[in-house]
Amino acid sequence: MADAEFRWRVPVDHPAFAGHFPGRPIVPGVVLLDHAVWLAQTALGYAMGACHITQAKFLSPCGPGDELMFTFRRSPSGVWSFTVRCGERDVAAGSLAAPTA
Protein backbone atom coordinates (compact mmCIF):
# COMPACT_ATOMS: atom_id res chain seq x y z
CA MET A 1 0.00 0.00 0.00
CA ALA A 2 1.35 3.42 -0.95
CA ASP A 3 1.77 6.16 1.64
CA ALA A 4 1.11 8.78 -1.04
CA GLU A 5 0.48 9.03 -4.79
CA PHE A 6 0.70 12.06 -7.05
CA ARG A 7 -0.07 12.54 -10.74
CA TRP A 8 1.92 14.84 -12.98
CA ARG A 9 1.32 15.47 -16.66
CA VAL A 10 4.62 16.32 -18.32
CA PRO A 11 4.20 19.74 -19.95
CA VAL A 12 4.57 19.51 -23.72
CA ASP A 13 6.57 22.73 -23.63
CA HIS A 14 8.96 21.73 -20.82
CA PRO A 15 12.30 23.51 -21.46
CA ALA A 16 14.27 20.24 -21.15
CA PHE A 17 12.82 19.03 -24.45
CA ALA A 18 14.73 21.67 -26.43
CA GLY A 19 17.90 19.57 -26.35
CA HIS A 20 16.79 16.18 -25.06
CA PHE A 21 16.44 14.98 -27.87
CA PRO A 22 15.60 16.75 -31.13
CA GLY A 23 13.03 14.76 -33.09
CA ARG A 24 12.30 12.38 -30.17
CA PRO A 25 11.93 14.36 -26.94
CA ILE A 26 12.21 12.39 -23.71
CA VAL A 27 12.08 13.54 -20.10
CA PRO A 28 15.63 13.63 -18.69
CA GLY A 29 16.20 11.55 -15.55
CA VAL A 30 17.21 14.65 -13.63
CA VAL A 31 13.74 16.14 -14.27
CA LEU A 32 12.10 12.99 -12.86
CA LEU A 33 14.37 13.11 -9.80
CA ASP A 34 13.77 16.81 -9.32
CA HIS A 35 10.02 16.28 -9.40
CA ALA A 36 10.23 13.36 -6.94
CA VAL A 37 12.28 15.48 -4.51
CA TRP A 38 9.89 18.42 -4.95
CA LEU A 39 6.88 16.20 -4.20
CA ALA A 40 8.57 14.71 -1.14
CA GLN A 41 9.39 18.18 0.11
CA THR A 42 6.16 20.05 -0.64
CA ALA A 43 3.43 17.42 -0.63
CA LEU A 44 4.82 15.04 1.99
CA GLY A 45 6.49 17.68 4.15
CA TYR A 46 9.79 15.78 4.10
CA ALA A 47 12.69 18.16 4.80
CA MET A 48 14.92 17.58 1.80
CA GLY A 49 17.50 20.26 2.51
CA ALA A 50 19.86 17.81 4.18
CA CYS A 51 18.68 14.70 2.34
CA HIS A 52 20.04 12.89 -0.66
CA ILE A 53 19.01 10.45 -3.33
CA THR A 54 20.38 7.09 -2.24
CA GLN A 55 19.33 5.15 -5.31
CA ALA A 56 17.86 5.87 -8.74
CA LYS A 57 17.04 3.65 -11.69
CA PHE A 58 15.64 4.77 -15.01
CA LEU A 59 13.69 1.95 -16.61
CA SER A 60 11.93 3.37 -19.68
CA PRO A 61 11.52 6.76 -21.36
CA CYS A 62 8.57 9.10 -21.13
CA GLY A 63 7.82 12.18 -23.15
CA PRO A 64 5.75 15.32 -23.65
CA GLY A 65 2.17 15.06 -22.41
CA ASP A 66 2.66 11.73 -20.61
CA GLU A 67 0.79 11.39 -17.33
CA LEU A 68 3.09 10.04 -14.64
CA MET A 69 2.14 8.54 -11.29
CA PHE A 70 4.65 9.10 -8.48
CA THR A 71 4.12 6.64 -5.61
CA PHE A 72 5.89 7.05 -2.28
CA ARG A 73 6.36 4.57 0.57
CA ARG A 74 8.09 5.34 3.84
CA SER A 75 10.08 2.65 5.61
CA PRO A 76 10.25 2.37 9.41
CA SER A 77 13.78 3.83 9.21
CA GLY A 78 12.41 7.00 7.58
CA VAL A 79 13.68 6.37 4.05
CA TRP A 80 11.19 7.24 1.29
CA SER A 81 11.16 4.92 -1.70
CA PHE A 82 9.43 6.09 -4.85
CA THR A 83 8.31 4.70 -8.16
CA VAL A 84 7.29 6.53 -11.31
CA ARG A 85 4.88 4.88 -13.73
CA CYS A 86 3.34 5.87 -17.03
CA GLY A 87 0.20 3.78 -17.37
CA GLU A 88 1.26 0.19 -16.78
CA ARG A 89 4.92 0.90 -17.55
CA ASP A 90 7.64 1.49 -14.94
CA VAL A 91 9.62 4.64 -15.76
CA ALA A 92 11.88 5.14 -12.71
CA ALA A 93 12.41 4.14 -9.10
CA GLY A 94 14.60 5.29 -6.26
CA SER A 95 14.91 6.30 -2.65
CA LEU A 96 15.43 9.48 -0.64
CA ALA A 97 17.06 9.59 2.80
CA ALA A 98 18.56 11.87 5.39
CA PRO A 99 22.31 11.48 5.83
CA THR A 100 23.48 9.56 8.86
CA ALA A 101 25.63 11.35 11.40
Residue 52 among the catalytic residues: no
- pTM value is 0.90
99 pLDDT higher than 70? no
Tell me the pLDDT tens digit for each residue of 42-96: 877 776 666 788 999 999 999 999 999 999 999 998 888 999 999 999 999 999 9
Tell me the pLDDT tens digit for each residue of 62-73: 999 999 999 999
Which one from 14, 20, 35, 52 is the annotated catalytic residue?
20
Angle, alpha carbons 66-84-74 (nearest 5°) = 150
Task: State how far the alpha carbon of 37 is from the alpha carbons of 22, 74, 81, 88, in Å.
Answer: 27, 14, 11, 22
Confirm or reject CATH 3.10.129.10 for domain 4-97, answering yes or no: yes
Q: Which strand ranges, in their side-by-side order, compose the sheet holding 52-58?
A: 4-9, 67-74, 80-86, 89-97, 52-58
